[in-house]
Structure 1
């Protein structure tokens, strides 16, 4: 099955994440993590962890990325997996877009590619858990059609900070 989704933009395209994307996507992810305040991930990953979590995990259903058409540079990626305490017919989503270009339609194109990759797999819903202080992430998932269904109060970050996390769901039916 071709996981490439058409985009309304012509300066990038989406496709299934490949092993040769790992180095650049890892750098992009670690840049997001190190900037703080927007990712549930709090500590940078190494290459082996990235591959294990976002490319080869048994619980992974899809990993797609956006690629700059001119330079070949990965601009972002999105994964869905059976991570966390969710029903078996749900998946959990993570979206990571290069800082400074979040409003170029990359996230929307990634979500279209993810939906295409999940087509026919029998999923009922997608869960997104977003830090309450990540207003951009909350707005992004809302724009994709996700609805709030639960709040995790006072989740403890690695530095001891307590923060609420908002659980949103996208229903296929």
Structure 2
């Protein structure tokens, strides 16, 4: 498995991953290449957007880490990062999420972030488990959303 920074050439493969997730979960979300480019690859607040690819170059999943800007829709304080993880169903339980988070955590440390927020649907059991396993802890719950926080620079695993 190859973990690297996402490029404009990855937008179509990242879009495919989102469509596979939608097909599995029924959770609609924007997923076209233009959205991927604007919100993940070329986002001005981006710290790092990583992809995981198999030996053939197929994208298995991706993870975005952006800096929280004033007035962000998640209510995350400035100085924190906001993370989003998207792993295709065929890549579950293969270490993709762990590998992606290692890259994001290193980027967060280099960017001197204090904390990282993960905004997860309360019904997204696999997402909640994933972030908990990575060391995130719940700090806020509202209207079907669970927000978990990771403290950068210290061991977070229970």
Q: Which TM class, normalised by the smaller chain length?
A: 0.7 to 0.9
Residue of structure 2 in register with 1:29 after alignment: 18
Q: Distance in 2 between matches of 1:152 and 1:30?
A: 27
What SS does the aligned partner of 2:91 have? coil
Q: Distance in 1 between matches of 2:12 and 2:112?
A: 32
What SS does the aligned partner of 1:119 have? helix
Residue of structure 2 in register with 1:161 after alignment: none
Q: Contact between 2:63 and 2:100, CA under 8 Å: does it hold in 1?
A: yes
Residue of structure 2 in register with 1:96 after alignment: 86
Q: Distance in 1 between matches of 2:151 and 2:62?
A: 21
Q: After superposition, where does 1:14-53 map in structure 2 within 5 Å?
A: 14-36=3-25, 42-53=28-39
Q: How many residues align?
A: 148
1:48 is displaced (CA, Å) by: 1.3
Q: Give TM-score, length-normalised by structure 1.
A: 0.80
1:119 is displaced (CA, Å) by: 2.4
Q: Distance in 1 between matches of 2:121 and 2:138?
A: 13
Residue of structure 1 in register with 2:62 after alignment: 77
Residue of structure 2 in register with 1:108 after alignment: 98
1:30 is displaced (CA, Å) by: 2.1
Which residues of structure 2 form unaligned runs of 5+? 154-158
Moved more, 104-113 or 83-92: 83-92
Larger Rg: 1
Residue of structure 2 in register with 1:7 after alignment: none
Once superposed, what is the RMSD of the aligned Cα atoms?
1.5
Q: Return structure 1 stretches of 4+ with deviation > 4 angstroms.
A: none
Which structure has the highest helix share of the two?
A: 2
